[in-house]
């Protein structure tokens, strides 16, 4: 396999994996192969969308995140909490109760991520780096940014080079805590994530040297801890928090159609990574040149449908919409006060939150262009010999993927079960050798079927 250049949160328990190939078949970037009966993820192709995690029937694919104990390395321990965490709880659970359990877990400050939304929305509409063709594309969803790097590098210039609200909020609160007397080394910002892609983005950020966030905690884990605590004991109201400092727009920002209505010109929102790929193919082909802005999210219903969200996404959305409606009708002075304070520091906050150039992720067949072209020609020639059924029996998701693997010398033509029969017919491969090949791909135990 190719050398790993990017951090990934999605990992495989090799001793749990049964080599069923469900993950291989759903991967949108063909990053997964089955070898020796176990799924193997190609780090240069993976975008951490989590589709493999969703379909694994034995939970062999897991998400690697920071241990909660790691927060205690810092004196000021800030939990960056997305609205979708709050939206998962029944309405009888008060937001102050959720905050209070987070304090009990060890956090000294609890801040909702979307406090940076208003600054981001304004910065997006002031963004001056217009692409030569096509719409501007939001960088809110890190899985989409990585997808464009891998599959649509021609559209990298369309990405809005401004960090998402989580980073804006992190920078703002680090500044506020430093004003309170904490040194930078004493402040730890921990994002409670609904998805694997955000973990990957923090550990291996695109367009910046290091993330503004110090650690990432699995939302599923945090939700379970909070809900168990609230269910099993009476939890007092939180003494202090940063509640009430969100606008209705901010609460809905992470949901589908959260960004698009506030962007200049004609804007569209597309969710679900398969839908996004289909739409980006249209954009590449200039099928519609009148779109000014695209809000693209990898998950169905955006962050409410993240793989680390415990609650039903539709109920989460309903609760968040109700919360937004309630805020619209209530006193907005706290939100306005917070926004006014952020506006004072806007230039400083955005100054460190403009991303550098985001580069394509190398999945070409070779770094040497001449060698890569030769391998591409070989791959295309090999495809003419393969049946084109995309059956997956070779351990690759498609015949095209197998041809590329052969060109890369990671597989051979005899991995195809159809080509094995042809080779056997012409006495170029023995049945025993064909069985050994299948055993290397799917594992020896897969063929140990005792007839009854």
Stronger pLDDT, 63 or 339, i.e. the higher one: 63
The interaxial angle of helices 219-232 and 95-105, nearest 10 deg, is 110
3-state secondary structure of 193: strand
* pLDDT of 332: 62
Phi/psi at 62 (nearest 5 deg)? -130, 170
* 421 and 450 together in one domain: yes
Residue 395 has pLDDT above 80, yes or no: yes
The answer to whether residue 73 sits within a structural domain is: yes
Residue 1 has pLDDT above 50, yes or no: no
Q: Structural domain of residue 409, as residue ranges?
A: 365-452
Nearest to 174 by CA among 164, 186, 191: 186
How many structural domains compose the chain?
A: 3
Q: Hey, what are 168's tokens?
A: 């804006």
Those residues whose C-beta lies under 8 Å from the C-beta of residue 95, and which sit 6 or more positions away, are 86, 243
Number of CB atoms found within 10 A of residue 103's CB: 17
* pLDDT of 91: 86
Query: How sure is the predictor about 238, in pLDDT bands with cuts at 50, 70 and 90?
Result: very low
Please tell me which of 2-6, 281-285, 287-291 the model is most confident about, judged by mean pLDDT.
Answer: 281-285
* pLDDT of 369: 67
**How far apart are the two ends of the chain, measured CA to CA in Å?**
40
- Reading across the β-sheet that carries 187-193, which strands appear in turn? 109-112, 76-81, 187-193, 215-218
The answer to whether residue 144 sits within a structural domain is: no
The answer to whether residue 292 sits within a structural domain is: no
* pLDDT of 376: 84
Q: What is the CATH number of the domain that holds 48?
A: 3.30.70.20
Cα–Cα distance measured from residue 270 to residue 301, given in angstroms and rounded to the nearest whole number: 9
Convert the pLDDT of each residue in 335-386 to its tens digit.
676 677 777 666 666 665 566 778 877 665 656 667 778 888 888 999 989 9
Residue 102 has pLDDT above 80, yes or no: yes
Nearest to 342 by CA among 173, 203, 193, 164: 173
- Write the CA distances from 424 to 402, 421, 446, integer angstroms: 20, 5, 22
Least confident of 69-73, 323-327, 358-362, 378-382: 358-362
* 378 and 448 together in one domain: yes
* 346 and 373 together in one domain: no
H/E element, 191:
strand 187-193
Number of CB atoms found within 10 A of residue 259's CB: 26
Stronger pLDDT, 61 or 238, i.e. the higher one: 61
* 335 and 232 together in one domain: yes
| Percent of the chain whose predicted confidence (pLDDT) is above 90 | 61
Convert the pLDDT of each residue in 406-444 to its tens digit.
988 899 999 999 999 999 999 999 999 999 999 999 988
* 73 and 175 together in one domain: yes
CA angle 24, 282, 137 (to 5 degrees): 85
* 117 and 10 together in one domain: no
H/E element, 33:
strand 32-35
Residue 445 has pLDDT above 90, yes or no: no
Task: Provide the whole-model pTM.
Answer: 0.88
* 340 and 384 together in one domain: no
Stronger pLDDT, 390 or 4, i.e. the higher one: 390
| Percent of the chain whose predicted confidence (pLDDT) is above 70 | 89
* 53 and 72 together in one domain: no
Convert the pLDDT of each residue in 299-308 to its tens digit.
999 999 999 9
């Amino acid at each position: 396999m190719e050398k790993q250049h990017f951090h990934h949160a999605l990992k495989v328990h090799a001793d749990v994996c049964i080599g069923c190939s469900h993950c291989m078949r759903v991967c949108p970037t063909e990053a997964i192969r089955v070898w020796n009966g176990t799924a193997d993820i190609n780090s240069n192709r993976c975008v951490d969308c989590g589709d493999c995690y969703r379909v694994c029937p034995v939970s062999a694919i897991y998400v690697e995140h920071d241990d909660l104990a790691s927060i205690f390395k810092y004196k000021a321990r800030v939990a960056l909490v997305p609205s979708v965490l709050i939206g998962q709880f029944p309405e009888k659970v008060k937001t102050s109760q959720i905050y209070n359990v987070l304090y009990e877990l060890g956090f000294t400050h609890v801040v909702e991520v979307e406090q940076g939304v208003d600054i981001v929305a304004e910065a997006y509409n002031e963004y001056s780096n217009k692409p030569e063709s096509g719409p501007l594309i939001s960088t809110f969803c890190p899985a989409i940014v990585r997808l464009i790097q891998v599959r649509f590098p021609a559209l990298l210039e369309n990405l809005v080079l401004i960090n998402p609200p989580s980073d804006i909020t992190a920078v703002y609160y680090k500044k506020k805590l430093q004003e309170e007397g904490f040194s930078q080394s004493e402040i730890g910002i921990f994002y409670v994530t609904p998805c694997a892609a955000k973990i990957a983005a923090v550990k291996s950020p695109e367009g910046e040297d290091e993330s503004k966030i110090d650690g990432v905690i699995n939302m599923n884990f945090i939700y379970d801890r909070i809900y168990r605590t609230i269910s099993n004991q009476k939890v007092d109201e939180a003494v202090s928090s940063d509640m009430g400092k969100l606008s209705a727009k901010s609460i809905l920002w992470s949901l589908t159609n959260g960004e698009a209505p506030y962007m200049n010109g004609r804007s569209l929102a597309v969710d679900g990574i398969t839908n996004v790929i289909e739409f980006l193919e249209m954009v590449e082909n200039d099928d519609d040149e009148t779109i000014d802005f695209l809000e693209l999210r990898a998950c169905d219903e955006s962050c409410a449908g993240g793989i680390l969200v415990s609650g039903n996404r539709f109920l989460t959305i309903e609760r968040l919409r109700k919360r937004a409606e309630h805020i619209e009708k209530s006193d907005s002075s706290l939100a306005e006060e917070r926004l006014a304070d952020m506006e004072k520091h806007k230039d400083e906050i955005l100054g460190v939150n403009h991303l550098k150039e985001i580069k394509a992720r190398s999945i070409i067949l070779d770094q040497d262009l001449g060698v890569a072209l030769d391998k591409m020609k070989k791959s295309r020639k090999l495809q003419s010999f393969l049946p084109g059924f995309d059956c997956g029996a070779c351990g690759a998701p498609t015949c095209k993927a197998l041809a590329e693997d052969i060109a890369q010398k990671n597989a051979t033509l005899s991995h195809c079960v159809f080509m094995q029969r042809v080779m056997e017919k012409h006495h170029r491969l023995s049945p025993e050798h064909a069985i050994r090949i299948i055993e290397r791909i799917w594992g020896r135990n897969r063929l140990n079927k005792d007839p009854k």
